[in-house]
Amino acid sequence: MSLDRTDVEKIAHLARLNIAEQDIQEYAENLSNILDLVDQMQAINTDDIAPMAHPMDAIQRLRIDEVSEGNQRDHLQTVAPAVEAGLFQVPKVIE
């Protein structure tokens, strides 16, 4: 597929891109090359090709959800500057 100057200008307008006048021809050639490559890839017969592995097919091994440490809140709050009703008190930062 070959793009011309007007096609590139329309694409640039839709994408809200500002392309310099002297660069439009180079963009047209590059975009045409990309579309030609896509056309080549579309033409390849993949009927006898097995699908590749997909990460969504994998099963994630999870650890058992069990408590590994006990509640240490009282111990950890002994070094806090201010505690009230089991909660850490912090200075007000938003006014």
pLDDT digits (tens, 9 = 90+) for 53-67: 877 777 878 888 899
Please, are residues 28 and 8 in contact by the beta-carbon 8 Å criterion?
yes
Q: What confidence tens digit (pLDDT) does each residue in 1-47 have?
A: 789 999 999 999 999 999 999 999 999 999 999 999 999 999 999 99
Identify the pLDDT of residue 7. 93
Please, are residues 82 and 89 in contact by the beta-carbon 8 Å criterion?
yes
Architecture of domain 5-43: Orthogonal Bundle (1.10)
Could you state, in order of their start, the residue ranges of all structural domains in the chain? 5-43
Please, are residues 4 and 28 in contact by the beta-carbon 8 Å criterion?
yes
Name the DSSP class of 79: T
- Please tell me the pTM assigned to this model: 0.51
Cβ neighbours of residue 31 closer than 8 Å, sequence gap 6 or more? 3, 7, 8, 11
